[in-house]
A and B are shown apart, each in its own frame.
Chain A
Amino acid sequence: MESLLTLVIFFPAVAGIFGFMIEAKAIKAYGIAVTTIEFLLSLLLWIMFDSTNPGYQFVEHIPLIKEFGINYYLGIDGISLFLIILSTFMTMVSVIGLTVKEDLKNMIITILFLEMTMVGVFASLDVILFYIFWELSLVPMLYIIGAWGAKLRIYAAVKFFLYTFAGSLLMLVGILYMAHLHHEITGTWSFAIPDWQAMPIDFTTQLWLFAAFFFGFAIKVPMVPFHTWLPYAHGQAPTVGSVILAAVLLKMGTYGFVRFSLPMFPDASVYFIVPVAILAIIMVVYTAMIAFAQEDMKQVIAYSSISHMGIIVLGTFAMNAEGITGSLFLMLSHGIVSGALFMLVGVIYDRTHTKMMDQFGGLASVMPKYATIFGIMLMASVGLPLTIGFVGEFLSLVGFFQISPMMTALAGTGIILGAVYMLRLYKKSFFGPVTNPENKKLKDLTAQELTALVPLVILVVWLGVYPKPVLDPIDSSVKHMIVNMEKKAVTKEAKELFVQANSIKEAK
């Protein structure tokens, strides 16, 4: 099918428009049906995906503004395929687990529009199209946080919007400069990502452009010191908002690094490895420490989420197949695990209307199923071998070990700290006697919650034990990208680093 990507992008939006005509009491079922169909459509992408071809597939190309080289240009490779599936999957799961009561109709329609923008970001091969979806994703999220959030919701929503919007405007300047360069070099206007990736850029210009794009992506990730919007957003957002924010929206930033920064500015990326790595390590260790100090379960997970994003950034800047593939896999696993953890916190919040750890204790005896699933997700988050979290973290760190063993060791302490704060959370809330008598009457997971959570558990174990079907397509696209980066690099330092970074030999 030639137009499959268009269908996957716009199906939820069209369904969202139709959603206005659905009666309020049927909207939940409608939402589940639409997101499930959308998920199946994205699975169809995977089935029809040719994993031996590392280039872009399902390409669609229609001119939009010819004079200015803006096209409706779509296509995916192994890098974006799984991020699309992650988006549709997590949207489906979070709609199934949705417990919002008021204005449910507006909520479902908003989520469907958000789904369009998420898939659109990962499927666009035209930078302006990418930018449109990237910016548009802010609007539904603003509404979700601001309308259904907790007390400080409006502050949190506006802060979220302003931070990311400001960052992406700097990126827009970078985008326009890239277009200008392309026009100077080739004489034609083009905003196509493949064209830009193939375009030679001199070193100094690369540095500036890298910086412009870096702001846009770093705020989204969010990297220290631009991370302050995220704890607020998570703290105030409703469960579904946190799930989608952590699972998908943050990945847009790291995806940007992989899709733009590395292949377009290889020399600048090499030049900036150390500063970026230092930021990433600060991110890992510092936010892990903050997470340890939190009393609110949701804040613990929010900060742990930033901490893990640090490892993703580190893996991306390892400049070798292991690191980048690992970081992409970690994006998926982090999406699944942190999404699941936020949902689990949502479950307990729906019952008790508090997220404070000192209100709980001994939950394991009252809610055994809940405690089991929470435990599995917690282990995955810590990166226990044979869970999904281990694969990505291990590969990312192995990759970066080629660059700097010292820094990798520092980042590794973040994992230890991660175990500390997560186990502390588990101990305080789940073990010991039931301290709060009201908690004795808590109901265990309902069928609806189990339907949402069990698929996540299955994925965590399945991909933890056997990640190959996902890793292979990612790996082939990443290798293809690295070869091109190596070819494109102009400085001697960069060329040497590519050789050094890619010296891991495959086991025969």
Chain B
Amino acid sequence: MLDPISIDYAALNMASLIPMIIIILGGLSILVIDLIKDDLSKSFYVMISELFILLALGAAFGYTGSERGFFDALLIDGIAKLGEGIILIASALFIPLALTSKRFHEFSYPEFFALFLFMIAGFNFMVTSDNLILIFVGLETSSLALYTLIAMHNRQKSFEAAIKYFTMGALAAGFFVFAILIFYALTGSVELHKIKEVLIAKEFQPIVAIMAGVVFMIAALGFKLSMVPFQTWVPDVYEGASAALAGYMSIVPKIAGFVVAMRMFEIFVHADIVWVQQILWIVAVVTMTATNIMALVQESVKRMLAYSSISHAGFAMSAILIGTTQANSALFLYWILFTFTNLGAFTMLWVSRHKKKGVWHSRYDHPYEKFSGMVKFMPVNAVIMGMFMLSLAGVPPFSLFWGKLYLMSSAINSGFIILALFMALNSAISVYYYLKLIVYMFLREPKQVDETIYMKNASMPLKTIIGFAAFMTLMAAVLVSPLLDMITHYVKASGF
């Protein structure tokens, strides 16, 4: 007979749940408001969502209670806080992108904002838990919301993208469940810290079963993190989604995935399981190299950025493979710096978004030709976009250079010299396609001198966000020091 469950309320530590509760309440209240009054402008919903996100951010960083909460399913350690921070700040920066001067279909539905908030809650559950079931629930909540958000863009390509993402995501979910199943069968637990204990006690035997579990896990997370060979959906989905959402997808779901991957694979990396390291090594190197080469031949800036973001994910993945405190700190530093730059780059595409199809190219909204000779009539925009490209390429002193520097340094310090050489080589390859855009903007003759066409979608909030991203990209040299201080503190505190 089962014992009756009796846990007193204080032991539940409900405070640990507050950030997620705020976000979910926010989503629900948007739905309720929509029921009562249905003709509110989108600016209202944007600002309400923004406020809930900021509240959650405050609650997350203000949390000082114990690490465990809610039936021990939640784990609020340092990397959870960092993950939550990145997710919430990136979301807070992306939601104002809905305030475009053109009307877009999706933003006229309050459901868009409700779904957006539910998605954030899902991501937050992923990073604040080491219970595989709860991680799975978070993963699915966020993914389902994200598929719908993509489809709401209401274009042929968007539906295709959403369906593609959904099918792939469903497969990944299957893999994830399989991985959980295998680890549960092996260890009798779905909690990562217990799994770790049991695996160490068993000295990682039987190897075949563990290998199957790890492979399923890599496949599942590989889809989310767009690791080669599970990256095929990315360019199409980015192409179909709106530029703002594509930018969001290149950052937030991935950091959530990275935190899960870090918790999962660190079990093996810290125990020096060589074959796991080898698999991760191959995955990371192939991801950054292959997609870099694919990016070289793209005709659309958006697809180029899609491939480039996969390559950056490969860079970050190598941090998990290295597994030292410095490497894990480097991952967060890299991703924070990447957030600002990529946010800026995608927003630049977003402001120049034209509602009519085929203004520039029969298929793409943002082909390279669109930016021809931009410096001649919009010098400031061209310089800012050029700066984002140089930053993505890792040219100092712009933001991403510092991320690359610290990551490569962590690789070298742990003896991964070849890996560091691959990173250097890949930066050298990638500079070519980033440079291609700069060449178009600065060195070619303009095709279209009517500058209004480039700023069709611009509005004050969008310009502010671009300005903010440009500022962060430019001033990174000064920001890195305090950021690194904070990140290292949190990463160390959680034992990675």
A contact residues vs B (CB 8 Å cutoff): 63-68, 106, 128, 131-132, 135-136, 138-139, 142-143, 146-147, 153-154, 157-158, 161-162, 165-166, 169-170, 172-173, 176-177, 179-180, 183
Q: Contacts A65-B480, A143-B442 given; indicate if A176 touches B395 (C-beta within 8 A).
A: no
Contact status A139-B397, CB under 8 Å: no
Contact status A132-B397, CB under 8 Å: yes
Contact flags B399-440 to A (C-beta < 8 A → 1, else 0): 001100110110011000100110011011001100100110
Q: Contacts A139-B390, A157-B443 given; indicate if A177 touches B417 (C-beta within 8 A).
A: yes
Contact status A162-B480, CB under 8 Å: no
Q: Contacts A154-B443, A162-B432 given; indicate if A172 touches B424 (C-beta within 8 A).
A: yes
With both chains docked as a complex, state the minimum distance between the C-beta of A442 and any C-beta of chain B, in angstroms: 32
Q: Which residues of B contact A177 (CB under 8 A)?
A: 412, 417
* 8 A Cβ contacts from B354-376 to A: 375
B484 within 8 A of A: yes
The one of B421, B428, B488 in contact with A165, judged by C-beta atoms closer than 8 angstroms, is B428
Q: How far is the CA of A172 from the CA of B431 in the complex (A)?
A: 15
> Chain B interface mostly helix, strand, loop or mixed?
helix
Q: How far is the CA of A2 from the CA of B393 in the complex (A)?
A: 35
Contact status A65-B484, CB under 8 Å: yes
Contact status A176-B412, CB under 8 Å: yes
List 11 A-B residue pairs with CB atoms under 8 Å apart, sorted by A's residue number: A65-B480, A65-B481, A132-B401, A136-B397, A143-B442, A143-B443, A146-B439, A158-B435, A173-B424, A176-B420, A180-B412
Contact flags B287-316 to A (C-beta < 8 A → 1, else 0): 000000000000000000000000000000
Excluding A165-B431, A169-B425, 15 further A-B contacts by CB distance (< 8 Å) are A67-B481, A106-B379, A131-B396, A135-B395, A139-B390, A142-B438, A146-B442, A147-B443, A161-B435, A172-B408, A173-B408, A173-B412, A176-B412, A176-B420, A179-B409
Q: How far is the CA of A183 from the CA of B488 in the complex (A)?
A: 18
Q: Which residues of A contact B477 (CB under 8 A)?
A: 64-65
The one of B396, B409, B420, B431 in contact with A136, judged by C-beta atoms closer than 8 angstroms, is B396
Contact status B431-A67, CB under 8 Å: no
Contact flags B337-363 to A (C-beta < 8 A → 1, else 0): 000000000000000000000000000
Q: Which residues of B contact A147 (CB under 8 A)?
A: 442-443
Q: How far is the CA of A128 from the CA of B402 in the complex (A)?
A: 10
Contact status B439-A162, CB under 8 Å: no
Contact status B442-A68, CB under 8 Å: no
Q: Which residues of A contact B485 (CB under 8 A)?
A: 67
Contact status B431-A161, CB under 8 Å: yes
Q: How far is the CA of A139 from the CA of B397 in the complex (A)?
A: 12
Question: Of residues B395, B420, B421, B443, which shows the largest number of chain A Cβ atoms within 10 Å of its Cβ?
Answer: B443
Q: How far is the CA of A28 from the CA of B379 in the complex (A)?
A: 20
Q: How far is the CA of A142 from the CA of B389 in the complex (A)?
A: 14
Closest to B394 in A: A169
Contact status B443-A68, CB under 8 Å: no
Q: How far is the CA of A227 from the CA of B409 in the complex (A)?
A: 30
Q: How far is the CA of A169 from the CA of B396 in the complex (A)?
A: 11
Q: Which residues of B contact A176 (CB under 8 A)?
A: 405, 408-409, 412, 420
Q: How far is the CA of A334 from the CA of B375 in the complex (A)?
A: 35
Contact flags B197-221 to A (C-beta < 8 A → 1, else 0): 0000000000000000000000000
Q: Which residues of B contact A157 (CB under 8 A)?
A: 439, 443
With both chains docked as a complex, state the minimum distance between the C-beta of A411 and any C-beta of chain B, in angstroms: 32
With both chains docked as a complex, state the minimum distance between the C-beta of B171 and any C-beta of chain A, in angstroms: 37
Q: How far is the CA of A390 from the CA of B485 in the complex (A)?
A: 55
Q: How far is the CA of A363 from the CA of B444 in the complex (A)?
A: 36
Q: Which residues of A contact B395 (CB under 8 A)?
A: 135-136, 138-139, 165
Q: Which residues of B contact A106 (CB under 8 A)?
A: 375, 379
Q: How far is the CA of A428 from the CA of B396 in the complex (A)?
A: 46
Contact status B420-A173, CB under 8 Å: yes
With both chains docked as a complex, state the minimum distance between the C-beta of B326 and any C-beta of chain A, in angstroms: 9
Q: How far is the CA of A172 from the CA of B428 in the complex (A)?
A: 12
Q: Contacts A161-B435, A173-B420 given; indicate if A66 touches B481 (C-beta within 8 A).
A: yes
Contact status A67-B413, CB under 8 Å: no
Q: How far is the CA of A66 from the CA of B442 in the complex (A)?
A: 37
Q: Which residues of A contact B424 (CB under 8 A)?
A: 169-170, 172-173
Contact status B442-A162, CB under 8 Å: no
Q: Which residues of A contact B413 (CB under 8 A)?
A: 180, 183
With both chains docked as a complex, state the minimum distance between the C-beta of A263 and any C-beta of chain B, in angstroms: 22
With both chains docked as a complex, state the minimum distance between the C-beta of B400 and any C-beta of chain A, in angstroms: 13
The one of B406, B427, B435 in contact with A68, judged by C-beta atoms closer than 8 angstroms, is B406
Q: Which residues of A contact B408 (CB under 8 A)?
A: 172-173, 176
Closest to A184 in B: B413
With both chains docked as a complex, state the minimum distance between the C-beta of A130 and any C-beta of chain B, in angstroms: 10
Q: How far is the CA of A158 from the CA of B443 in the complex (A)?
A: 11
With both chains docked as a complex, state the minimum distance between the C-beta of B393 and any C-beta of chain A, in angstroms: 8
Q: Which residues of A contact B439 (CB under 8 A)?
A: 146, 154, 157-158
Contact status A67-B443, CB under 8 Å: no
With both chains docked as a complex, state the minimum distance between the C-beta of A414 and any C-beta of chain B, in angstroms: 32
Q: Which residues of B contact A165 (CB under 8 A)?
A: 395, 428, 431
Contact status A64-B443, CB under 8 Å: no
Q: Which residues of A contact B396 (CB under 8 A)?
A: 128, 131-132, 135-136
Closest to B478 in A: A64
Q: Which residues of B contact A169 (CB under 8 A)?
A: 424-425, 427-428
Question: Of residues B424, B438, B478, B488, which shows the largest number of chain A Cβ atoms within 10 Å of its Cβ?
Answer: B424
With both chains docked as a complex, state the minimum distance between the C-beta of B476 and any C-beta of chain A, in angstroms: 10
Q: How far is the CA of A157 from the CA of B443 in the complex (A)?
A: 10
Closest to B379 in A: A106
The one of B406, B412, B481 in contact with A64, judged by C-beta atoms closer than 8 angstroms, is B481
With both chains docked as a complex, state the minimum distance between the C-beta of A488 and any C-beta of chain B, in angstroms: 23
Closest to B439 in A: A154
Closest to A169 in B: B424
With both chains docked as a complex, state the minimum distance between the C-beta of B315 and any C-beta of chain A, in angstroms: 13
Closest to A147 in B: B443
Contact status B484-A67, CB under 8 Å: yes
Q: Which residues of B contact A66 (CB under 8 A)?
A: 481
Contact flags B480-495 to A (C-beta < 8 A → 1, else 0): 1100110010000000
Q: How far is the CA of A143 from the CA of B435 in the complex (A)?
A: 11
Q: How far is the CA of A298 from the CA of B395 in the complex (A)?
A: 31
Q: Which residues of A contact B379 (CB under 8 A)?
A: 106
Q: How far is the CA of A293 from the CA of B58 in the complex (A)?
A: 72
Q: Contacts A136-B395, A153-B443, A157-B439 given; indicate if A173 touches B484 (C-beta within 8 A).
A: no
Contact flags B372-384 to A (C-beta < 8 A → 1, else 0): 0001000100000
Q: Which residues of A contact B420 (CB under 8 A)?
A: 173, 176
Contact status B435-A180, CB under 8 Å: no
Q: Which residues of A contact B375 (CB under 8 A)?
A: 106
Q: How far is the CA of A356 from the CA of B267 in the complex (A)?
A: 69
Q: Contacts A64-B477, A68-B484 given; indicate if A162 touches B431 (C-beta within 8 A).
A: yes
Closest to A131 in B: B396
Q: Which residues of B contact A170 (CB under 8 A)?
A: 421, 424
Q: How far is the CA of A106 from the CA of B480 in the complex (A)?
A: 31
Q: How far is the CA of A445 from the CA of B427 in the complex (A)?
A: 47
Contact status B481-A162, CB under 8 Å: no
